[in-house]
Structure 1
C-alpha cells in the first residue's frame, strides 16, 4: 500500500522527537541550542538587576554617578544625568550578555578604575570625593580627540568617549531629556505643517 502524504509527515515528525542513534545503537544526545534566553516582556517595568546581575561595585557606581553629573549637569531646563539615574542605565548596559555590551563592560569598568586612580594620584582621594574643579581637571585631559593619540591618555580617552555616548543616550531617551531637546514626537497632532523653513534651509531644500 502506498503511504499517504499525511502519514509521511506524521512519521517524520515522530522521528524528529526521538533521540539520535549512533551505529552502535547508543543514544547520542542532541546539541543544546545556545543563546540568551527568551525576550523580556516589553510592557513590564523591570527592576535594576532583574534581567541579569549588575556589574558595578558601590565605588564604581558612585564614580559613574559623579561622572554622569559632570558630563550632563543640571540646568534651568532639566536635572543632571545623575539625578535621572543614568549611571544605573549604564550599569545595566554593560552588564548585558551581548557581545558589544561585554566589550563596553571591559572598557567602562577599567575606565572607572582609572578615574579613581588618577584622582588619587593627583588629589589623594577617589574621583567621587574630589571637588567639581578637580573633576573637570581630570576630564579635561581625556575628553579631547587629541587625547586619543596620547600614550598616557589614549585608553582613558576611549573610555571617556564611550561613557559620554552612553550618558547622552540614557539622558536624551528619558522623558526629561526628550523635553530638554524639544522633542514633540509620540504625541497626537491634528495637523502637520511640515518641517520649519529654517530646518529645510539647513538641509538645502527650498520650501514650497
Structure 2
C-alpha cells in the first residue's frame, strides 16, 4: 500500500486502463482521420523585373519592335540614294540589295528622341531630293541617271564646302551616308568586302614573329 492509499495492484490497473484508452484513441483516429490542413502555397518571386528592366530579344520569333515610319515612296528614293553611296561592284552587292534601306527605316522609326529627330531630317531630305531633281531634270530622284544623281550629290556630299542653300541637305546626306556605311558593313556582304573574318581559332600559337621581336629590340 502506498502513502496515497493505492496499492501496487491498483496502480497497475490504472496504467493498463490508460494504455487501453490510448490504443482506443489511436484506433479511432485511424478509422476517422482528422481532415488534413491545407499546405499554404509557396511564395515565389515574380519573373518580371521592375519597369524598364531590359530583356533579351526572342531570336526564335523575331518581330518588329515598333512600327516602321517611312513610306514605300520614301524607301524607293532612299534605296537609290544608298546605292549611290555604296554601289554594287564585282566583289559585293550595293547597299540596297544588302538591306540597308530596311535598316535605316528601323533606325529612324525607333521611339527615341534622337531617332525621332533623325526621322524628320531623313524625311525632309528625301523630299528635298525629289524637289531638286524635278527642278534640274524634270523627274524624281529614283529615275535619274547615275550622272544626274552624282551632280546633285556632289553639291551636298561635303558639309564644310556646301553652299548656304545646300547646308540642310548636306546635313541630311551626312546622316544617311553614316547610316548606310554602318548598315552595309555590318552585313555578311559588307564584312566580306572588308575581308573581315572575325575571331578565328588558331590551332597553335608560336608567339610574335621574329620581325616583330626584332623591331621591338627583343630579338
Alignment length (residue pairs): 167
Other-structure match for 1:43 = 59
Could you report, residue by residue, the CA deviation over 1:145-186 in whole angstroms, capped at 9, with x for unpaired residues?
Answer: 3344x3201110011011000000000000110111111214
Other-structure match for 2:175 = 162
2:84 is aligned, of 70, 85, 88, to 70
Gaps of at least 5 residues in structure 2 are 1-49
Q: Secondary structure at the match of 1:141?
A: helix
Paired residues of 1:147 and 1:153 also in contact (CA < 8 A): no
Gaps of at least 5 residues in structure 1 are 1-32
1:110 is aligned, of 124, 136, 148, to 124
Say yes or no: does 1:91 pair with 2:102.
no
Other-structure match for 1:177 = 190
TM-score scaled by structure 2?
0.67
Question: Distance between the aligned counterparts of 2:169 and 2:143, measured in 1?
Answer: 19
Paired residues of 2:87 and 2:93 also in contact (CA < 8 A): yes
Paired residues of 1:78 and 1:177 also in contact (CA < 8 A): yes
Question: Distance between the aligned counterparts of 2:125 and 2:210, measured in 1?
Answer: 44
Shift of 1:195: 8.9
Shift of 1:53: 0.9
Could you report, residue by residue, the CA deviation over 1:68-104 in whole angstroms, capped at 9, with x for unpaired residues?
Answer: 1000011111110011120111001100112221121
Aligned-CA RMSD value: 2.8
Question: Distance between the aligned counterparts of 1:151 and 1:67, measured in 2?
Answer: 22
Q: Secondary structure at the match of 2:164?
A: coil
Shift of 1:34: 7.9
1:152 is aligned, of 154, 160, 165, to 165
Distance 1:94 1:195, change over 3 A: farther
Larger Rg: 2
Say yes or no: does 1:132 pair with 2:151.
no
Other-structure match for 2:9 = none
Other-structure match for 1:16 = none
Question: Distance between the aligned counterparts of 2:189 and 2:209, measured in 1?
Answer: 24
TM-score scaled by structure 1?
0.71
